[in-house]
Amino acid sequence: VFWSCVNITVFYVTYQYYKHEAKFFYLRDMLGVSLCLSRGSASVLNLNSAAIFLPMCRTLLVKFRGTKMTKRFIRRGIDRGHFIHVVCASFLLMATVVHVVAHICNAIHFSTNFNEEFSEVNVATFKGENPCKLILTTLAGVSGILMVLLLVMISLLSVPTIRKHSFQLFWYVHHCFPVYYLLLLSHSLGGLLKEQCNVQTHVPGCTMDVGAIPEPVWDMVLRINTILIYLADKVWRNLQSRYPVIVQSVIFHPADVVELEFEKEKFKASPGQYILLMCDKVSHIEWHPFTLTRCPTKCNPTFTIHIRVKGDWTCKFMMCVELVTIRFFVDGPFGGSSQDVFKYNTSVCIAGGVGITPFAAVLNELRMRASLGNLKLRSLYLIWICRQVDCFQWFAEMITDLYWKLWRENCPDVLNVRLFLTGNSTPNLSTLPKFLLKRVSLGRPEMKTIFQEIAKCQTK
């Protein structure tokens, strides 16, 4: 809602500026409302082309999120960086459609409304000139067409269905964005729309010769600044991730899950954060996100991730994970919403399948703590939904260890575990520890009932 209001305001202010500003009198007389529409949509387009970078500046956002002055609603926005990125992309596409249609109308009006007395503000050289020629023979026109084609391609391959089944194709095309920004910068330098430069000595509306200059491209400064911020963030991340990490162990779990234990010098992380992992035997340019399932501590500098083998990258990774020559590179860590679990008296963690990984780091943090006395968290509810009983084996030992630790410290009520099996086949529960066995339910959870129970317990 906030970003919609910002975009509407930017469009409205720009539209009114071009509608009433004296220096655009002759251009406005020639092009009509399509001038205002093209410039209003251009402002929205430029704003989102700049803003779309910011949610991807991961290192900067992690530093900002970790400061004490960052309020909760700001942290929520930072955690939803991907959603903000998609919202900016949506406004970018909508503005592009309006901008393209408006400029097609502008090309037609340049041709049909050609006036020899004011040729300096006209792109056409004579009345009735082919509008297609005006578009296809100018820098702004050609760069605009290429940008539209690139945006269409990036947008189509970002559809969840395509991204899920062919992530590599999505990833490679998505990283064509430098080409888009080079075209965008050259598009602004076209100088097709001109403003009157002698408004003080020449009253708009008379028949004297008009002095005209291309519009100043102030919006280019905004785009360049955000690009520089993104590049600085990228360079810093590349410097931090240029050395391979040490692989301490590889453990194969049921249901096609691999646990990797790494060690990296000066690596610090918090429960709920994630890393980007690159495997040189699979691809030198693909970095994939994986949530930390155990964070490094003073006593144990190693950290772990769990990878579910599903998809083209993970399948290739599985084939070469045990090779001696394989090298892994780690970028991060980066923030996530699960970091705030310890900031509340009561936290409810709900996960499906391998989505348990961020909460596994939280449970490991509780397990590794020497004492829970100075912790604000007093009740942690873990609701884990899986199709196969084998999935519970991934963290069964860790959850059981935590339970006994809490029992020894006389605070067993801190952890409340509820497991749900949704598979059709009859499960064999004998492999589970007693503690977990008593907490397994068949079928989907009734979330409304569970929330009511939790609320009732917390109001006592």
Q: What is the pTM of this model?
A: 0.74
Reported as a single tens digit per residue, the pLDDT across 358-381 is 899 989 888 887 676 677 888 889
Q: Where are the beta strands (DSSP E) in 168-283?
A: 194-196, 212-214, 246-253, 257-263, 274-279
- The counts of H helices and E strands in the chain are 17, 12
Helix (H, G, I), strand (E, B) or coil at 100: helix
Rounded to an integer, what distance in angstroms lies between the CA atom of residue 437 and that of residue 415?
Answer: 15
pLDDT of residue 209: 47
Least confident of 10-24, 58-72, 301-315: 58-72
* Residue located via tokens 């408006």: 102
Domains of the chain from N-terminus onward: 2-138+190-239 (no CATH), 246-335 (2.40.30.10), 339-358+367-458 (3.40.50.80)
Reported as a single tens digit per residue, the pLDDT across 231-282 is 888 888 888 888 888 888 888 888 888 889 998 888 888 888 889 998 888 8
CB contact set of 376 (below 8 Å; sequence gap of 6+): 342, 343, 344, 345
CB 272 within 8 A of CB 362: yes
For residue 431, the Cα-to-chain-centroid distance in whole angstroms is 39
CB 165 within 8 A of CB 313: no
pLDDT of residue 110: 80
CB 110 within 8 A of CB 123: yes
CB 264 within 8 A of CB 246: yes
Does the pLDDT value for residue 205 go beyond 60?
Answer: no
Rounded to an integer, what distance in angstroms lies between the CA atom of residue 193 and that of residue 99?
Answer: 14
- Stronger pLDDT, 25 or 393, i.e. the higher one: 393
Q: Tell me what percent of the residues of the chain surpass a pLDDT of 70.
A: 86
What average pLDDT is seen over the chain? 82
